[in-house]
Homo-oligomer: A and B are copies of this chain.
Amino acid sequence: MCGIAGIIGTGDCAREVAVALQALQHRGQDSSGIGSVCGEEFPLVHKLGLVGQSYGAEDMAHLPGPLAIGHVRYPTVGRGLLRDAQPFFHRQPGLLMAHNGNFINVREMQEVLREDSIHLLSQCDVEPAMCLFALEMMRRRRRDHTLEDALAALDATFTRAAGAFSILVALKLDGIPTLMAVRDPNGIRPLVWGQGNGSFTVASESVALDAVGAHLEGDVAPGEAVFFRRDQEPIRRTWRRGEAAPCIFEFIYFARPDSTMNGRSVYGMRQDLGRELARAWAQKKLSADLVVPIPDTARPSAAAVAEELHIPFREGFIKNRYSGRTFIMASPGERQNALRLKLNPIASEFRDRRVLVVDDSIVRGTTLSRTIHLIREQGPREIHLAIYSPPVLYPCYYGIDMSTREELAAPRFVESATEGFLSEAEQRRLEHNLAARLGLDSLTYLPGEALRRVHPGGCCAACFEGRYPLPVSDERRRWIEEDRRCVVQRELLF
Q: Which residues of A contact B (CB under 8 A)?
A: 15, 18-19, 22-23, 25-26, 29, 40-44, 50-57, 60, 62, 81, 83, 89-94, 114-121, 131, 137-138, 142-145, 207, 210-213, 256-258, 265, 267-268, 296, 299-300, 303, 306-307, 312-315, 317-318, 320-330, 334, 336-338, 340-341, 344-349
A265: which B residues are within 8 A, CB to CB? 346-348
A43: which B residues are within 8 A, CB to CB? 83
A-B contact sample (18 more), CB < 8 A, given A52-B324, A211-B341, A257-B346: A15-B328, A22-B320, A22-B322, A22-B341, A40-B114, A40-B119, A43-B83, A50-B322, A54-B327, A60-B328, A115-B143, A207-B320, A210-B340, A211-B344, A256-B318, A265-B346, A303-B314, A313-B313
Number of copies: 4
- Whether the Cβ atoms of A344 and B258 lie closer than 8 Å is yes
| Complex-state Cα separation, A53 to B54, whole angstroms | 13
A92: which B residues are within 8 A, CB to CB? 116-119, 131
A41: which B residues are within 8 A, CB to CB? 119-120
Please, could you name 22 A-B residue pairs with CB atoms under 8 Å apart, sorted by A?
Answer: A19-B328, A22-B322, A22-B326, A23-B344, A25-B320, A25-B322, A26-B320, A26-B321, A57-B327, A89-B121, A91-B119, A93-B118, A114-B143, A116-B143, A117-B137, A117-B144, A211-B344, A267-B346, A267-B349, A296-B321, A306-B313, A313-B313
Decide yes or no: A138 and B116 within 8 Å by CB, A55-B328, A327-B53, A328-B55 being known contacts: yes
- Whether the Cβ atoms of A93 and B119 lie closer than 8 Å is yes
CB distance from A192 to the nearest CB of B (A): 14
Decide yes or no: A340 and B211 within 8 Å by CB, A115-B142, A318-B257, A348-B265 being known contacts: yes
Q: Choose one: B52, B138, B213, B314; the contact of A323 (CB below 8 Å).
A: B52
A171 to chain B: closest residue by CB: B119
- Whether the Cβ atoms of B52 and A91 lie closer than 8 Å is no
- Whether the Cβ atoms of A23 and B341 lie closer than 8 Å is yes
Q: Choose one: B62, B81, B345; the contact of A258 (CB below 8 Å).
A: B345
| Complex-state Cα separation, A334 to B20, whole angstroms | 13
A207 to chain B: closest residue by CB: B344
- Whether the Cβ atoms of A91 and B143 lie closer than 8 Å is no
- Whether the Cβ atoms of A120 and B143 lie closer than 8 Å is no
A53: which B residues are within 8 A, CB to CB? 324-327
CB distance from A393 to the nearest CB of B (A): 30
A328: which B residues are within 8 A, CB to CB? 15, 18-19, 52, 55-57, 60
